[in-house]
Amino acid sequence: MDTLTQAGQFVIEKARIFTSTGNEIPVEESILEVNIYEDIYANSIYGELVVMNTVGLASEGPIIGQEYLSIIISTPTLEDPKHKIIFDQNQLHITKVARNYVGNDTELLTMSFVTSEIIHNQRSVVSKTMVGTYHDMVETLLTKDLKCKKDLYIEKCNDTKQVITNNRKPFDIISQFTKNATALTHGMPAFLFFENFKGYHFRSLQSLYAEGSRFEYFETEENSTPGDPSDVGMSNLKLNAKVTRDLSTIKDYKILGNQDSVTSLSVGGLSSRLITHDIVQKKYTVNDYNYLDDESIDQQGIQRYTTKGKKKDFPIYNSAVIDDDGNRVSDFIPIQYLAATSTIKDDNGVYKNSQYDVYSKSQKKPVYIFDPRKHEVALQKRRSLFSNLSMGIRFEMEVLGQTTYGVGDIITANITSKAKVDTEDDDKTDKFLRGQFLVETIHHIFNQGSKEHRMYVTISKDSIEKEHEPADHVEIKPIQDGKIYSDQHFYGDLPGYDERTSSNFNVVKSQQSFQKRSIALNRK
């Protein structure tokens, strides 16, 4: 294994295209650039391969969007296979080819590719009844229906369900499961389904947070003091100080959106009301959800289900009273949900789903007990968690590439404050743009011309490290009573309507002009 001597180094160990006609074409020497995209909200990794067509590859191959790509990209010094980009046994599918000419005799081919599971998903329709927990059904769909051979990271759920798939695609079914599943460990509903270089993940936000930070970045000045590998999470690697500093340096960043309280309020991020109608019991229940009162939420760092030693974080919204009635920003009900359920009492007086069991003749007893939907958790709490994450603190940063982490991982970022701030510990970082963030997307760029791997990383969090001081913050109310204007002002000659209105202002001309326009419009 080569030694990493410069941040951003990479090695394309293997790159082969397998055509629909059975040809195997090595393209390592023809590659100009590889773009790979990871997205925590996408079901598959995807990307583009740009090659120089010097041997008539497109026509002789031929390349028609029906090929397979086998590729291995590694970072020198990182010997662990989990830190490599390996699509050798699980090959990528080339789906589209674009041909462009540079000059008179140079042709560039841009080939779009996706992982095999997305292709198998498009070819599959599931029509069956599935029974079991959500995590069991996800495993079945991935391994049996999609023939997935990759590593699977599946968090256990506490819900037992019977699902009729109704001729849907596997990924669509799993997407439905993410909206209803609650975790066995902590009962939280915030599940995601995504792929990174390690494999497929069906996990809650809390399980991602619990693994802690994998890397730390700093907005470092040019020619600054080199960093220590232990400071950024690379103490196990034999890297010199300059490489460590460069890898952990934020080259550039842009803020994507911060604290949209109006939108968050309107979509149930801060509060909501759920009316659940039991169609069997002929009753309804009302459940009010309040974000600031929900102590079970593990906002990016509220330490309830996270690793030991992690500092407690706080909501980005202030809990101060904002009106004379003692209300906070989360004490209003801007949105209501209506959901139906059906429950019956079992022999112990516990309410269960009305279709709650499957009777086994061989065992002479029910073998499955189906749980009713927990709308107050899966709907209200999930909506709040994801809306506050998406409208919290988010920014995209440009860094030199490496493969020690992927989407779904937690990293630490430190952005220097652009304003002069006096703090007791002389901390120069921005209190909002620092701390632990969830990695949402990564755009990897492997450029053969510059021999450099760069990444554009989108990160987000829904919390801050220091709690807002809940001082008196009563909203300023309007104190001047406005006047009401109507037709007598619009069409008449009433003084004081506006600055143009006076005893000398010719209203008649205005009225005549209005009449002429009306007649003209009626004639058309």
- Tally Cβ neighbours within 10 Å of residue 410: 23
DSSP, res 117: H
- Does residue 226 lie within any of the structural domains? no
- Does residue 133 lie within any of the structural domains? yes
Give the domain range for residue 510. 487-523
Those residues with Cβ within 8 angstroms of residue 447's Cβ, 6 or more apart along the chain or in another chain: 32, 33, 453, 454
Given the structure tokens 């030693």, which residue do they identify? 309
- Does residue 469 lie within any of the structural domains? no
And the tokens for 338? 């209506």
- Does residue 369 lie within any of the structural domains? no
- Does residue 345 lie within any of the structural domains? yes
What CA–CA distances, in Å, run from 483 to 64, 480, 489, 497? 70, 10, 12, 10
- Tally Cβ neighbours within 10 Å of residue 443: 18
- Tally Cβ neighbours within 10 Å of residue 522: 7
pTM of the entire predicted model: 0.85
Same domain as 437, residue 345: yes
Nearest Cα neighbor of 237 from 206, 214, 265 is 214
**Cα distance between residue 183 and residue 382, in whole Å:** 12
Domains: count for the chain:
4
- Which amino acid does the sequence have at 96? K
Same domain as 382, residue 420: yes
And the tokens for 213? 């930070």
Those residues with Cβ within 8 angstroms of residue 419's Cβ, 6 or more apart along the chain or in another chain: none
Backbone phi, then psi, for 205, in 5-degree steps?
A: -55, -40
CB 76 within 8 A of CB 59: no
For helices 170-180 and 116-123, angle between their N-to-C axes, nearest 10 degrees: 100
State whether residue 378 is helix, strand or coil.
helix
Same domain as 164, residue 110: no
- Measured over the CA atoms of residue 475, residue 480, residue 484 and residue 489, the dihedral's sign is negative
**Cα distance between residue 6 and residue 175, in whole Å:** 41
Those residues with Cβ within 8 angstroms of residue 1's Cβ, 6 or more apart along the chain or in another chain: 74, 76, 77, 79
pLDDT (tens, 9 = 90+) of the chain, 524 residues, equals 567 788 899 999 999 999 888 888 899 999 999 999 999 999 999 999 999 886 667 666 778 888 999 999 998 887 788 889 999 989 999 999 998 877 667 788 999 999 999 999 999 999 999 988 999 999 999 999 999 999 999 999 988 888 889 999 999 999 999 999 999 988 888 999 999 999 999 999 989 988 888 999 998 755 455 444 455 555 555 667 888 889 999 999 999 876 677 888 888 888 999 999 988 888 899 999 999 888 776 555 544 444 444 567 788 888 888 888 888 889 999 899 998 887 777 667 766 665 555 555 666 665 556 776 777 788 888 988 898 888 889 999 999 999 989 999 999 999 988 776 555 555 678 888 888 899 999 999 999 999 999 999 999 998 888 888 776 666 777 788 888 888 888 887 777 676 454 444 444 455 555 455 555 555 55
Same domain as 61, residue 176: no
Backbone phi, then psi, for 485, in 5-degree steps?
A: -110, 145
Same domain as 132, residue 102: no
Same domain as 450, residue 381: yes
Which CATH number characterizes residue 202's domain? Answer: 3.55.50.20
**Cα distance between residue 12 and residue 50, in whole Å:** 14
State whether residue 139 is helix, strand or coil.
helix
Same domain as 106, residue 72: yes
Same domain as 276, residue 201: no
DSSP 91-102: EEEEEEEEEEEE
- Does residue 212 lie within any of the structural domains? no
State whether residue 322 is helix, strand or coil.
coil
Of 207, 222, 254, the residue at which a domain comes to its end is 207
Same domain as 256, residue 382: yes
Same domain as 134, residue 98: no
- Does residue 90 lie within any of the structural domains? yes
Same domain as 422, residue 330: yes
Of 207, 232, 248, the residue at which a domain comes to its end is 207
Which CATH number characterizes residue 55's domain? Answer: 2.30.300.10
How many CA within 13 A on the CB side of residue 251? 12
Of 117, 138, 167, the residue at which a domain comes to its end is 117
CB 393 within 8 A of CB 316: yes
Q: Where are the alpha helices (DSSP H) in 113-223?
A: 116-123, 134-140, 170-180, 205-210
Nearest Cα neighbor of 173 from 119, 125, 115, 133 is 125
Same domain as 139, residue 109: no
Give me the residues paired with residue 276 across strands: 285, 339
Give me the residues paired with residue 431 across strands: none
Nearest Cα neighbor of 460 from 156, 25, 52, 39 is 39
Those residues with Cβ within 8 angstroms of residue 293's Cβ, 6 or more apart along the chain or in another chain: 330
- Does residue 21 lie within any of the structural domains? yes
- Tally Cβ neighbours within 10 Å of residue 83: 19
